[in-house]
Amino acid sequence: MHRQGRTNGESASTKCDTAGKTCGVVTVRLRNLVNSAPKRAAAKYVGPMSEQESGLIEGTDGKTRCYWHANRPDYQAYHDNEWGRPVADDRRLFEKICLEGFQSGLSWLTILRKRENFREAFEGFDFERIARFTEKDVERLLANAGIIRHGGKIRSTINNARRALELCEQEGSLARYFWRHEPPPEDRPERLDFATLTANPKTDVSTRISKDLKKRGWTFVGPTTVYSFMQAMGLVNDHIEGCVTRDEVERERQSFRRPA
């Protein structure tokens, strides 16, 4: 589930949408999502607990989905067509983990709506090219109003591109590295409901990956960032029970060929 914002250090999930661990906070956050959705979205929350605590939203098409896209058309398309579907392409994996870093302190929707600008600015997230960026490129990127102009995050992406090259030399590919950390079924919740999801903005696996990447010199890869990456790239299926996309994503994960 995408965070609405988090601190760079990710010391706690208090600034992300998974932070509301009391019913009151969850209710307020869900209500705010409804209020901020386009008027034509006509969002309605549904679910077995209560309308505002189930984590499910009914859209104008009558289908029930995870609440966080709030019936915004571009966000709903991302939810339906991308989030949770397994990815083994190194460029897409690198893009995603970098954009998750850019999201620190912001919402994913902000990044999503700038994603094409990021792709253009960062050479399609070809990490071999980005690894050759110089300070002149940093200055160019800091002047680009189409992306998030944060010097630390820009330099982190360049640094991580160089670390990605090293990781590929050691592991064969980014896909091999990340997919060997896929949690086994017995480590996953038997039933993924909204309460379980919001209570776990990071996991033991994401913490392990985060620590390992940091040892390898990566930056902006805290455990919450890494878990959001895992959710988006299909290493886990965190579409909650009752979401129309959950079973489809699970079938795709089952037929997905893991990198050897």
19 DSSP assignment: -
Distance CA 226, CA 219 (A): 11
pLDDT in tens, 154-204: 999 999 999 999 999 999 999 999 999 999 999 999 999 999 999 999 999
Query: What are the structure tokens assigned to 96, written together?
Result: 């995603």
pTM of the model as a whole: 0.82
Q: How confident is the model at residue 3 (pLDDT cuts 50, 70, 90)?
A: low
Q: Looking at residue 1, what is its pLDDT?
A: 64
* Phi, psi of 45, deg, nearest 5: -85, 140
Helix (H) / strand (E) element for 45: namely strand 44-46
> Would you say residue 122 has pLDDT above 60?
yes
Contact between 209 and 203 (Cβ < 8 Å): no
HEC string for 100-154: HHHCCCCCHHHHHCCHHHHHHHCHHHCHHHHCCCCHHHHHHHHCCCCCCCCHHHH
For residue 52, the model assigns a pLDDT of 55
Mean pLDDT score across all residues of the chain: 86
Every domain of the chain and the residues it spans? 90-255
Distance CA(18)–CA(1), nearest Å, equals 8
What's the rounded Cα separation, in Å, for the pair 245 and 240? 9
Model pLDDT, residue 188: 95
List pLDDT tens digits, range 202-253: 999 999 999 999 999 999 999 999 999 999 999 999 999 999 999 999 999 9
- How far is Cα 98 from Cα 78, in angstroms, rounded to an integer? 17
Catalytic residues: 78, 100, 108
Please say if the pLDDT value at position 4 is more than 80. Answer: no
3.40.190.10, 1.10.340.30, 1.25.10.10, 3.30.1490.20: CATH of 90-255: 1.10.340.30
Cα-Cα end-to-end distance for the chain: 28
> Which of 190, 13, 10, 161 lies closest to 90, judged by CA?
161
Q: Quick one: pLDDT band at residue 53, thresholds 50, 70, 90?
A: confident
Residue that the structure tokens 């965070």 belong to: 3
Q: Is the pLDDT of residue 113 over 90?
A: yes
Residue 45 predicted with pLDDT over 50: no
Specify whether the CB–CB gap between 64 and 46 falls below 8 A.
yes
Top pLDDT among 11 and 254 is at 254
